[in-house]
Amino acid sequence: MKKSDRELGMGSDISRRDFIHDAGLTALGLSLPISGVAAAGSGTSDADYPPTRTGLRGSHPGAFEVAHTLRDGGAFPAGRKLNEDYDLVVVGAGISGLAAAHYYRKRFGKDARILLLENHDDFGGHAKRNEFHQSGQMRLSMGGTHNLEHWLFSDTVKSLMAELGVDVNELQRKREFAYGRNGEKGPALWFDEQTYGENKLITNCSLGDGANQDMDALIDEFPLGEVARSQLKHFYAMRTNVLKGKSDEQAQAYLKSISYPDFLRQHAGLGEEALQLFDSMELGGWGVDARALSASEGLSAGMPGLHLLGNDSPGKESDYPVAMFPDGNASLARLQVHSLIPNVAPGTNAGNVALAKFDYSALDRPDAAVRLRLNSTVINASNTGSGVTVSYINQGQSYQITSRHCVMACYHVVIPHLCPDLPKEQKTALKYQVKRPLLLTSVLVKSSKAMDKLGITGARCPGRMHDDVYLFKGINTAGYRHDFADDGPVPLVFWGAISPPKDVVHVKDQYRASRTKMLALRFEDYEREVRTVLDGMLGPAGFDVKRDVLAITVNRWPHGYSHDYLDLWNPHWPEGEAPHQIASRPYANITMANSDAGANAYTHVAIDEAFRAVNELP
């Protein structure tokens, strides 16, 4: 039976506190002039310290409205010219923007005057730090970019990591966290009452690793119709090669030409009720529904079906050998900021960065060579005879500054609005790269005892808004410690994206539809969702949803993952003519960075693109 908001604890102090906090932030954004920039982020109280802010984060209220006005053709007053002149202005203070500032100093000297302009109230871009103190002790979680795929690092990235003191081997060694797959009873599936007619948790069950499980017995527990269960049993029992007789080249071409669900329809006989179990399986990892992926892409991501190609196992949800900080890649962004502006946190290094309290008032001091200005949305960047003129909005006021160079380290689709004089071909290429929405909601709960009792550390939730939920602990690096065996207060991470409507066909339209739905939801909609899941999944093990939820931070990223190219939707372009390559061409004193420029949503790609962008400056 569906519970009322009151029964779910929606009237508790947490929701009122977050609502008041968000309203206060919005009011702040409408009132403060430029002279209040540093003070607004000074961290004079924990409530004002950006990493500790709860409620709607990511693209939070106040961060995107100016850009939307610009997109919709709105006009802004002429900017007041500030008596500030820089060697470099960086648009965006995410990992790529921060790396661009780093590489600029290496190329042009440490005395170079640099200003980073960031539209959010915190730096790091998608590398968002969620810091909780509601339990009386600091607990960290990640609100965006997760980890370091170190085996893909270029020499450029390896060198930056060494300069920042980041030891990926050490980060690996001290990680017990495994995305909810290392509980006593293994991975789990949770079926919810609203979608499936009953709340049911099934443990020791991974849809991607049927070879090591008694799938018939597990599937008998699925709250699905008899036909769907029979189809799934047949599918997991199959051991064949449906592409027998085709060459490797022919087989790969076929797998790239057919969608993952169609592959299972045609070769495994799965109907719609059975297939829906896989619909949202890669919403967190790829940022798309299964129907947007080719069979090749789905199978390579670990989705079941390899046993239809002559492999022994249906698939493998293996441990991903990443290196991680206890706040995701936020600690990497913090190390970058400290390297550029040491006074923000004296004495900080890779061994203690997770514990460091940053002084936000030090980010934008007039006497510093590098300045970082938050709550500042750029609305124009134009080449001039002597450099670049940049206009931006800060707290409702319009300002203008000049610089020798400019690096656009923001996402590509906004750049044509910021640089209207770009060549038509380049603007078309920039607009091609529609980003994929991403959602990570961090929920601090009083204890992990309910999950411990159930023998799980996480579960897939195929019928819900977030496809995955998992305990976030067991990453004892960068000075922080939260042992995996600790059953006290712990963040839970809900991970996924908003599924697009089924009648939306083209993948770009799917992204846009998901983004529209995401932005239309209020904080209480997200809160209701996570409380419903926690109550249904953990309530039977003693979790009290009205008492045991201490804080909720919703990290919504309507423009999340960078637009990489998918088999079913993108052609193969000649070298140098792909949209991201055309989009990232230098334009006089303006160059383009960020992971969009590499068409790949990885941190190391963002760094490589920053290196390229700086070295393309005249």
Give the model's pLDDT for residue 210: 61
Measured distance between the N- and C-terminal CA atoms of the chain, rounded to whole angstroms: 66
Q: Does residue 29 have a pLDDT over 50?
A: no
- Alpha carbons within 13 angstroms on the beta-carbon side of residue 509 total 6
Give the model's pLDDT for residue 499: 93
Give the model's pLDDT for residue 78: 87
Yes or no: say if 312 and 466 are a contact pair by the CB < 8 Å rule.
no
Query: What pTM does this model have?
Result: 0.93
DSSP string, 317-360: -PPP--B--EEEEHHHHHHHHHHH-GGGSTT--TTTGGGPPP-G
Give the model's pLDDT for residue 258: 98
Distance from the Cα of residue 462 to its chain's centroid: 20
Longest dimension (CA), the chain: 73
Q: Enter the DSSP assignment of 499.
A: P
- The arithmetic mean of pLDDT across residues 79-86, rounded, is 95
Instruction: Give which of 514, 539, 499 is closest to 195, Cα–Cα.
Output: 499
Where is average pLDDT lowest: 213-217, 262-266, 376-380? 213-217
Q: Does residue 27 have a pLDDT over 80?
A: no
Q: Does residue 41 have a pLDDT over 50?
A: no
Backbone φ and ψ of 383, nearest 5°: -70, 140
- The arithmetic mean of pLDDT across residues 426-445, rounded, is 97
Q: How confident is the model at residue 46 (pLDDT cuts 50, 70, 90)?
A: low
DSSP string, 186-213: -SEEEE-HHHHSS-EEEES--TT-GGGS
Where is average pLDDT lowest: 39-53, 368-382, 443-457, 585-599? 39-53
Angstrom distance (rounded) from CA 159 to CA 492 = 34
Q: Does residue 228 have a pLDDT over 90?
A: yes
Type of residue numbered 425: E
Angstrom distance (rounded) from CA 553 to CA 520 = 17
DSSP string, 285-314: TTSS-GGGSBHHHHHHTT-S-GGGBT-SSS
Domains and CATH numbers, the chain: 13-61+128-181+435-561 (3.90.660), 65-123+363-430+574-615 (3.50.50.60), 207-308 (no CATH)
- The arithmetic mean of pLDDT across residues 327-334, rounded, is 98
* DSSP-derived 3-state class of residue 171: helix
pLDDT single digits (tens) 268-294: 999 999 999 999 999 998 999 999 999
Q: Does residue 17 have a pLDDT over 50?
A: no
Angstrom distance (rounded) from CA 499 to CA 509 = 12
Q: Does residue 79 have a pLDDT over 60?
A: yes
Q: Does residue 21 have a pLDDT over 60?
A: no
b (16+ CB within 10 A) / e for 412-439: bbbbbbbbeebeeebbebbbbbbbbbbb
**What is the dihedral angle through the alpha carbons of 10, 194, 216, 274, rounded to the nearest 10 degrees?**
-130
Q: Does residue 331 have a pLDDT over 80?
A: yes
Type of residue numbered 258: I
Give the model's pLDDT for residue 382: 97
Strands, DSSP E only, in 35-160?
Answer: 55-58, 80-91, 114-117, 129-132, 139-142
Give the model's pLDDT for residue 24: 35
pLDDT single digits (tens) 122-161: 999 999 999 999 999 999 999 999 999 999 999 999 999 9
Q: Cα dist. 597→106, 130, 208, 367, 562 in Å? A: 21, 27, 33, 33, 9
The mean pLDDT value of the chain amounts to 92
